[in-house]
Structure 1
Amino acid sequence: MLNVHVLQSCAVAGCASATAIFLLYFMAGSLGLIDRPNERKHHIGNVPLIGGLATYLGVLAGAAYHSHFHVFSQMLLGTAGVLVVLGAVDDRRGLGVRVRMAVQVLVILVMIGVTDVHIRSLGVMFGHNVDLGMFGVPVTVVAIVGLVNAFNMMDGIDGLVGCLTLASVASIILYDGQADAQTSKVVLLLLAGASLPYLIANFGIGRHKVFLGDAGSTVIGYVLAWVLIRLSQDRGTPLTQVDTLWCVALPVFDTIAVSVRRVIDGTSPFKPDRGHIHHLMLRAGLGARATLAVLILMAVVLAIVGVLVRYLDPGINVLMFVALLAIYVTATCMAWRALSARDFSGMGQSSQTQVARPS
């Protein structure tokens, strides 16, 4: 069970995050952290991009109150701060993909070098222990960079990344089965507590609507990735390597699906478009709130499926994950093609109508 001190730390994180949102809201203009509508961003008005900064400051405040952190958690929060700054700079002026990737990889390598935590094994599959050996570090780098960008790419409608964060934290606690005071799990709980004020503001409750920004979506994926690796590589915890996939299944599914579709179309996997699952649902006519509800339900269902199959052979478990991933990729690619054809047809009809109109 969680002790009172951990709960108090989470409350401090939430209060500090709320205070930071209020203060940063009025500083966003001078900091250059304002999101303006454009052809890809269809929100109304200029919105401060300070949700991520406020969430991180809330986590730091909660961590300072808790104070009992080991080297891993201390390094996690410290390196996450570097990514928060990177994300804020990206929000302000825009950075190239290579620059962002280079900094992310460097930060991950520093974390591995100091803590010696990385993916050493994929677990026992079909009766054989899959040790990565010398490939452990590069696999870790790819996995973390992938999840960081997966959460960043999901930040497309109000509340989605925040709700997915809470769903992932709840899934990790569920799979682990121990809501104890282990410091890596405390960091997760602080993240959840600090995310709540952002969610309230992001939904526009009150006068101060804010967006998460790259500073927030980046650090959320980073923290979740490291905690999943830490717990799954620790033989003293029930969370297995395969369980980690189900805890973050929806962001992983969507990122892979979008990347595959872009490569098939001959474009860069990193080139932004309106082809993510939330974009497809909105283009199909679903409202923003309904889209959010459906996606959170999908994330929860995927986590439950993972619980139902976790006692099978891990190899079969992975095959189940890959099978659902293949279905997701196929379905979203077909939806993209159908919606694009519909939109193109509509543009053609509009053009013909304009040409036929008498001058």
Structure 2
Amino acid sequence: MDGLNFSHFALQEFTLAALAFCICGLIFLLRAKFPRLSGRAEDLHSVQSMHTKLTPRVGGVGIFGALALSTLFAPVQVSERYADFILATSVLFTVGLAEDLGFHMSPRRRLLAAMAASLLAIWLLGVWLPRTGIPGLDMFVDHWAIGVPLTLLVTAAISNGFNLIDGVNGLASLTAIVAAIALSQIAQLAGYTTMTHLAMMVAAGIFGFFLLNYPFGLIFLGDAGAYTIGFVLSWFGIAILLNAPDVSPWAILLTMYWPVADTLLAIYRRSRSNKDVSAPDRLHVHQMVMRALEICILGRDQRRIANPLTTLVLMPFVVAPPIVGVLLWNQNQNAFLACMGFGVLFFGSYAAAPSLIRRFRLPSSNKGQ
């Protein structure tokens, strides 16, 4: 029976991956006929741009299509509530898609959309973040006046975090796939098997997009895709905490550590420079790594190689925290210490990066500097 269930689930996950792949592939093929699908020329000149050619940025359509289909595959006991959750997610997806299609939606509007989607999820499901792993704070999180605002903050921050790391081919989608698999494993270890299947379905849908995004960047996630996967994964983490009391919130944080750390770094960096925290820049970790590859190893005319190579370089750092999160899934103190340890490594490496780049830069890179 277990073998039959595994085959059944594997077929569902293959179907979701295939659907996302086909939708993204169709968008890529039709990009010339529908200008709004082909990308935005101004993106090539934006301060945070890491690409050199016009590319469709509506890959989120494929991922959301897989999410919508996954409601048919959800376990019967949660199918109605899961459908309600996807309905709430559609609010954020719609606003993100409007931005991707050229209808300007400011970062503030997108964050408000993330909070509105979370409010709708709270209203439809009647739940919010149940605990934080911080003893003093956990005494009050059960009350809606504390728990609801905290849930809005956490889910909006993680949604925005995935958008911030969406700068080089494959990085955001790889991070999301690893996070979904890690959440699935934590749910399995905790005996919450419903989430095991749901998280793997999300990983499958994102993988379908990943096949066209990496390494050549034929299509991008866009805001609809990045915000949606961050929103879904953050709420999956909340669902695990609600249904598996032994799971540490810090272990859940470790599964999505990279986008959270990058968001905190961006807030600190921009606040220190007296800039709007939502203002774009070229100082994210993936941007620093790509420039380091160009300056120190490949040369400045090798962007097509440096872009996907950046994801490979960062992959061990992206994957390590979720692995530790799975290993420490029910050890709250150790998971907290792991978060602090990865924080020291993350921020310390970032602080040391500029001096290392200057030390090892190619001689020809000094020209024009």
Question: Which residue of structure 2 lines up, in the alignment, with residue 45 of structure 1?
Answer: 53
Gap change, CA 1:166 and 1:347, over 3 Å in 2: closer
Query: Retained in 2: the 8 A contact 1:284–1:339?
Result: yes
Query: Retained in 1: the 8 A contact 2:115–2:156?
Result: yes
Matched, 1:233 2:251: no
Question: How many pairs align?
Answer: 344
2-side partners of 1:181 and 1:245: how far apart? 18
2-side partners of 1:22 and 1:347: how far apart? 38
> In the TM superposition, what is the alpha-carbon distance from 1:192 to its structure 2 partner?
1.4
- Bigger shift: residues 223-232 or 13-22: 13-22
Matched, 1:266 2:274: yes
Matched, 1:322 2:340: yes
Matched, 1:11 2:14: yes
> In the TM superposition, what is the alpha-carbon distance from 1:321 to its structure 2 partner?
1.4
> In the TM superposition, what is the alpha-carbon distance from 1:220 to its structure 2 partner?
0.4
Secondary structure of the corresponding residue to residue 285 of structure 1: helix
Q: Deviations over 1:87-137 (max 9, x none)?
A: 1111122311222122221111111011012112224749x9644233111
* Residue among 142, 146, 169 paired with 1:158: 169
Question: Which residue of structure 1 lines up, in the alignment, with residue 206 of structure 2?
Answer: 195
Question: Which residue of structure 2 lines up, in the alignment, with residue 88 of structure 1?
Answer: 97
Question: Which residue of structure 2 lines up, in the alignment, with residue 209 of structure 1?
Answer: 218
Gap change, CA 1:247 and 1:276, over 3 Å in 2: same
Q: Deviations over 1:4-38 (max 9, x none)?
A: 33222212212221221232224445261314422
Gap change, CA 1:191 and 1:23, over 3 Å in 2: same
Question: Which residue of structure 1 lines up, in the alignment, with residue 257 of structure 2?
Answer: 249
Which AA in structure 2 matches 1:297?
Answer: P
1-side partners of 2:250 and 2:117: how far apart? 25
2-side partners of 1:350 and 1:61: how far apart? 52
Secondary structure of the corresponding residue to residue 47 of structure 1: coil
In structure 2, list runs of 5 or more residues that go unmatched.
Answer: 295-305
2-side partners of 1:23 and 1:285: how far apart? 33
Q: Deviations over 1:156-194 (max 9, x none)?
A: 110111111111112112323349884444332222111
> In the TM superposition, what is the alpha-carbon distance from 1:41 to its structure 2 partner?
1.9
Query: Retained in 2: the 8 A contact 1:185–1:227?
Result: no
* Residue among 320, 332, 338 paired with 2:350: 332
> In the TM superposition, what is the alpha-carbon distance from 1:63 to its structure 2 partner?
2.8
Which AA in structure 2 matches 1:41?
Answer: S
Matched, 1:106 2:116: yes
Gap change, CA 1:116 and 1:336, over 3 Å in 2: farther
Gap change, CA 1:99 and 1:182, over 3 Å in 2: same
- Bigger shift: residues 71-80 or 212-221: 71-80
Q: Deviations over 1:218-261 (max 9, x none)?
A: 1000100000001012236x532221111111111111112111
**TM-score under structure 1 normalisation?**
0.84
Question: Which residue of structure 1 lines up, in the alignment, with residue 69 of structure 2?
Answer: 61
- Taking the TM superposition and a 5 Å limit, the aligned residue runs for 1:71-150 are 71-93=80-102, 94-123=104-133, 125=135, 130-132=139-141, 133=143, 134-150=145-161
2-side partners of 1:167 and 1:181: how far apart? 19
1-side partners of 2:327 and 2:113: how far apart? 38
Matched, 1:32 2:40: no
Which AA in structure 2 matches 1:76?
Answer: F
> In the TM superposition, what is the alpha-carbon distance from 1:80 to its structure 2 partner?
1.6
1-side partners of 2:19 and 2:191: how far apart? 23
Q: Deviations over 1:37-73 (max 9, x none)?
A: 2253242321111211011112222333557343331
2-side partners of 1:340 and 1:260: how far apart? 23
Query: Retained in 2: the 8 A contact 1:148–1:217?
Result: yes
2-side partners of 1:311 and 1:18: how far apart? 36
